[in-house]
């Protein structure tokens, strides 16, 4: 073909947010946080509240530093459980979705149970699991139960959203089932899978915490949730707050990491990862 | 029958595609096509022209083997020599239908990859196909970075990369602006003149069908049947001058008149 006079790829014409607005978006939550913490400390000091009723943020911070050894160990334990539950949920959810996609019969037979597992509150299942499974396994299973469903349902949705014409193209060129799966279905489903994993990350932390709390009285655990339960019995309220703070931070980091991975994987082609411009 | 049957020896006398009393009724009960007969000679450029929803695309999909006819027979000439690809067919859809997650190069390579072609050979053919459509510089771009016309070129390159005998095109330029469409029309004519492939081109544009084809097959509204056949015996090579010639206007009038009855039963279209 002759000439190609199509206009060159235009550089992204970003319409930048006014600098003031962007600054406000970062600063405002920080200001709110600072004000809240200050008010909290003020109330505690003015009212002379004892730490076993309500510790001030300074006391919580001090506990966090003093008890760092214990708390950090517990954090690692909880994170390990979360990670194991997350990996199990990711593999299990994607594998089940692939099986369902392959066989309608399997989907019809098993899908209702996946839903039942999802809608039954995990806090109610955890004590039963702890009876029948070793504690460490029970905790991971708990994390898996709450986290696998979003992966399963998102992956299923993704596998079913393949472009009809692209599917026709693969058929035209005689693609095998494996080729269609590898080159068409999985890449099409990738944004959906990543979305499911992002939800699963937070949920597996919740699952791990729920199971630790349920197991708490058994006393064998050493995760952060177990520390919270244990500190509650001892009226060590500052430590409860410190552990809660760490759990929160862990949740934020998990979410941030998964969002980052999702962005890095999709940034070149998927609408969700592209800027608002063009 | 799921695959188009091969034409018998007797039929192969110069025919690339042969449809005999083909009908298609969808599961929903909609009769989309036929009975419809069509013979396309090897190397011929034929346009299927008709109102929206008249079964043009259905006919094309049946020829490609994407779906089976409800009755009748679909014959497609086996390609000579190598047996790669179903029947040596390239298909260009109405949308570019590119995989958004990979580069233009990988998109064009897809048919070869699915056929397990050796990498070295595939590389050469991909480069050649991209060059044919004028996209060599944009091989590493992602589809979203391309304009509508360039996406269509990529789609065309993918259809050409297997060097098919038959090129099926389903309203490929319908969504493009006029200038881009004219340019792609010219490029397509040049390609066809050089490569001498059989082209079956579905369109609802009278002007496009006359400009491109040697023969325009006018179809009735649903279910699509043959309404008229008009041979376009314009002087070769066709250029932009043809587009403004009296000859061209005359053919367009003739084809429009042939098409008019297809629209008579349709209100508001």
Q: How does residue A217 score in pLDDT terms, banded at 50, 70 and 90?
A: low
Q: Which of B99, B103, B151, B181 should we substitute to test contact with A (largest number of A Cβ atoms within 10 Å)?
A: B99
Q: Which residues lie below 8 Å from residue B151, measured CB to CB, with a gap of 6+?
A: B96, B98, B143
pLDDT surpasses 80 at A271: no
pLDDT in tens, B208-242: 888 888 888 888 887 888 888 888 887 777 777 88
> CA A86, A88, A94, A97: dihedral to nearest 10 degrees?
-120
Chain B residues touching A172 at Cβ < 8 A = 64-66, 86, 89, 91
Q: Where do the structural domains in chain B lie, given as residue ranges?
A: 100-163
- Confidence (pLDDT) at B250: 82
Please, what's the b/e burial string for A193-214 (b: 16 or more CB within 10 A of its CB; e: otherwise)?
Answer: bbbbbbbbbbbbbbbbbbbbbb
Q: Does A40 touch chain B (CB under 8 A)?
A: no
Instruction: Please give the span between the terminal C-alpha atoms of chain B, in angstroms, as a whole number.
Output: 35
The residue in chain A having the minimum alpha-carbon distance to the alpha carbon of residue B4 is A172
Mean pLDDT for the stretch of residues B102-120: 90
Q: Which residues contact A215 (CB under 8 A, 6 or more apart)?
A: A126, A130, A135, A138, A139, A221, A226
Q: What is the pLDDT of residue A274?
A: 66
* Residue with token string 């994170």: A79
**Tell me, what's the pLDDT at B9?**
44
Closest residue in A to B170 (Cα) is: A165
B15-55 pLDDT, tens digit each? 888 888 888 888 888 888 878 888 888 888 999 988 877 78
Q: In this complex, which of A3, A166, A173 lies closest to B97 when CB atoms are compared?
A: A166
- Give the pLDDT band of residue A37 (cuts 50, 70, 90): very high
The separation between the first and the last C-alpha atoms of chain A, rounded to the nearest angstrom, is 29
B91–A3 CB contact, under 8 Å = no
Contacts of A170 in chain B (CB under 8 A): 114
Mention every residue, 6+ apart, whose C-beta is less than 8 A from residue B138.
Answer: B104, B130, B146, B150, B154
Could you give the C-alpha distances from A166 to A95, A169, B92, in angstroms and in order?
Answer: 23, 5, 11
Give the Cα-Cα-Cα angle A252, A255, A260 (nearest 5 degrees). Answer: 120
> Tokens at residue B91, please?
């298909």
What is the Cα–Cα distance from B141 to B107, expressed in whole angstroms? 11
Tell me the range of A13-17, A120-124, A216-220 where mean pLDDT is highest.
A120-124
A177-187 confidence digits (pLDDT tens) = 899 999 999 99
**Contact assignment for A168 to B143 by CB distance below 8 Å:** no
The pLDDT assigned to B6 comes to 54
Residue A221 binned pLDDT confidence (cut-offs 50, 70, 90): low
pLDDT of residue B83: 45
Test B95 with A187 for CB contact under 8 angstroms.
no
Q: How far apart are alpha carbons A45 and A49 in whole angstroms?
A: 7
pLDDT exceeds cutoff 90 at A172: no
Q: For residue A268, which residues of chain B lie inside 8 Å, CB to CB?
A: 101, 142
In chain A, which residues have their Cβ closer than 8 Å to the Cβ of B142?
Answer: 268-269
Q: What pTM, to 2 d.p., does this model score?
A: 0.80
Task: Return the residue in B90, B96, B97 with the most chain A beta carbons within 10 A, the one to mutate for interface testing.
Answer: B97
* pLDDT, position A66: 92
Q: Which residue in the set B115, B145, B191 is minimally distant from A1, CB to CB?
A: B191
Q: Would you state the pLDDT for residue B79?
A: 56
Burial of A144 (0-12, 13-18, 19+ CB in 10 A): buried
Q: What is the mean pLDDT of residues A192-219?
A: 85
Average pLDDT score over residue span B91-113: 91
Question: Model ipTM?
Answer: 0.84
pLDDT digits (tens, 9 = 90+) for B138-166: 989 999 888 888 999 999 999 989 888 88
Q: Which of residues 184-223 of A touch B (CB under 8 A)?
A: 184, 187-188, 190
Determine phi and psi for A266, rounding to 5 degrees.
-100, -5
Q: Are A258 and A201 in contact (CB under 8 A)?
A: yes
Q: Are B86 and A163 in contact (CB < 8 Å)?
A: no
Q: Report residue B168's pLDDT band, with 50, 70 and 90 as the boundaries.
A: very high
DSSP-derived secondary structure for B189-251:
HHHHHHH--EEEEEES-HHHHHHH-SEEEEEPSSSB-EEEEEE--PPSSP-HHHHTSHHHHHH
pLDDT tens digits, A136-148: 888 888 888 899 9
CB-closest option in B115, B142, B191 to A173: B115
The chain-wide mean pLDDT, for chain B, equals 83
Distance from B131 to chain A by nearest Cα, in Å?
Answer: 8
Segment (H or E) for A48: none
- Mean pLDDT (whole number) for A202-212: 89
Each residue's pLDDT tens digit, B235-250: 777 777 888 888 888 8
Partner-chain contact A166 B102, CB within 8 Å: no
Chain B residue whose CA is closest to A175: B114
Distance CA A202, CA A241 (A): 20
Cβ-proximal residues to B87 (8 Å cutoff; 6+ apart), any chain? B4, B6, B65, B76, B77, B78, B79, B165, B166
In angstroms, the CA A231 to CA A229 distance is 6
The reported pLDDT for the residue numbered A244 is: 92
According to DSSP, the β-strands at B198-203 and B215-219 are unpaired
Mean pLDDT calculated for residue range A106-118: 89
Check pLDDT > 90 for residue A250: yes
Per the CB < 8 A criterion, the answer to whether B226 and B36 are in contact is yes
- Structure confidence at residue B258 (pLDDT): 80
Q: How far is B237 from chain A (nearest CA, A)?
A: 15
Residue A110 in this model has a pLDDT that exceeds 50: yes
Q: Do A268 and B142 touch (CB under 8 A)?
A: yes
The predicted structure's pLDDT at residue A99: 92
Inter-residue contact B32 to B57 (CB < 8 Å): no
Question: In chain A, what residues touch B66 (CB-CB under 8 Å)?
Answer: 168, 171-172
**pLDDT reading at A11 higher than 70:** no
The top-level CATH class assigned to A54-273 is mainly alpha
> What digits encode the pLDDT tens for the residues A255-264?
999 999 998 8
pLDDT of A249 above 90: yes
**CA-to-CA distance for B194 and A46, rounded, in angstroms?**
91
Using a CB-CB cut-off of 8 Å, the residues of chain B touching A269 are: 100-102, 142-144
For the cut 90, the answer to whether the pLDDT of residue B104 exceeds it is yes
Is residue A65's pLDDT more than 90? yes
Which chain B residues are closer than 8 Å to A267 by Cβ? Answer: none
In chain B, % of residues over pLDDT 70: 90
A278 has a chain B CB within 8 A of its CB: no
Of B137, B142, B190, the CB nearest to A1: B190
Please state, in angstroms and rounded to a whole number, the distance separating the CA atoms of residues B221 and B9. Answer: 34
Q: How far is A115 from chain B (nearest CA, A)?
A: 31
Contact A196, B94 (CB under 8 A): no
Beta-carbon count within 10 A of A149 CB: 23
Cross-chain CB nearest to A163 (options B91, B97, B162): B97
């Amino acid at each position: 073909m002759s000439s190609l006079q199509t206009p060159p790829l235009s550089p992204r014409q970003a319409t930048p947010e006014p600098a003031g607005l962007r600054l406000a978006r970062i600063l405002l939550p920080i200001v709110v946080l600072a004000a809240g913490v200050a008010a909290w400390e003020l109330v505690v000091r003015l009212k002379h509240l004892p730490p076993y009723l309500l510790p001030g943020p300074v006391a919580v911070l001090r506990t966090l530093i003093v008890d760092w050894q214990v708390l950090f160990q517990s954090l690692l334990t909880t994170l390990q459980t979360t990670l194991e539950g997350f990996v199990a949920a990711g593999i299990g959810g994607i594998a089940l979705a692939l099986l369902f996609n392959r066989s309608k019969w399997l989907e019809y037979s098993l899908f209702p149970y996946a839903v039942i597992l999802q809608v039954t509150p995990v806090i109610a299942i955890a004590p039963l699991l702890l009876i029948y499974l070793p504690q460490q396994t029970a905790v991971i299973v708990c994390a898996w139960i709450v986290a696998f469903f979003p992966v399963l349902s998102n992956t299923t949705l993704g596998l079913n959203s393949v472009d009809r014409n692209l599917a026709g193209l693969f058929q035209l060129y005689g693609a095998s089932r494996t080729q269609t799966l590898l080159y068409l279905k999985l890449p099409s489903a990738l944004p959906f899978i990543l979305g499911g994993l992002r939800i699963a990350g937070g949920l597996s932390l919740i699952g791990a915490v729920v199971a630790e709390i349920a197991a708490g009285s058994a006393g064998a655990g050493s995760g952060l949730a177990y520390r919270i339960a244990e500190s509650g019995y001892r009226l060590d309220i500052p430590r409860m707050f410190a552990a809660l703070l760490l759990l929160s931070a862990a949740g934020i980091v998990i979410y941030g990491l998964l969002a980052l991975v999702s962005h890095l994987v999709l940034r070149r082609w998927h609408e969700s990862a592209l800027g608002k411009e063009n | 029958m799921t695959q188009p049957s091969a034409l018998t020896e007797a039929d192969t006398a110069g025919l690339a595609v042969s449809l005999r009393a083909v009908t298609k009724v969808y599961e929903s009960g909609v009769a989309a096509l036929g009975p419809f007969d069509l013979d396309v000679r090897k190397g011929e450029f034929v346009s299927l022209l008709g109102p929206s929803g008249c079964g043009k695309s259905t006919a094309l999909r049946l020829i490609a083997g994407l779906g089976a006819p409800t009755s009748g027979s679909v014959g497609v000439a086996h390609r000579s020599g190598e047996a790669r690809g179903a029947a040596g067919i390239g298909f260009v859809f109405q949308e570019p239908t590119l995989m958004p997650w990979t580069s233009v190069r990988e998109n064009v390579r897809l048919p070869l990859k699915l056929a397990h072609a050796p990498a070295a050979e595939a590389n050469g053919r991909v480069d050649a196909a991209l060059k044919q459509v004028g996209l060599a510089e944009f091989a590493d771009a992602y589809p979203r970075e391309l304009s509508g016309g360039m996406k269509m070129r990529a789609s065309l390159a993918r259809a050409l990369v297997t060097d098919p005998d038959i090129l099926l095109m389903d309203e490929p330029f319908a969504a493009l602006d006029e200038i881009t469409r004219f340019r792609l029309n010219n490029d397509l004519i040049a390609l066809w003149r050089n490569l001498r492939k059989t082209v079956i081109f579905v369109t609802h544009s009278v002007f496009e069908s006359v400009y491109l084809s040697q023969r325009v097959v006018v179809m009735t509204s649903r279910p699509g049947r043959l309404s008229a056949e008009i041979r376009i015996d314009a002087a070769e090579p066709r250029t932009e001058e043809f587009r403004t010639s009296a000859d061209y206007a005359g053919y367009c009038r003739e084809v429009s008149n042939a098409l008019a009855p297809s629209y008579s039963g349709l209100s508001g279209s």
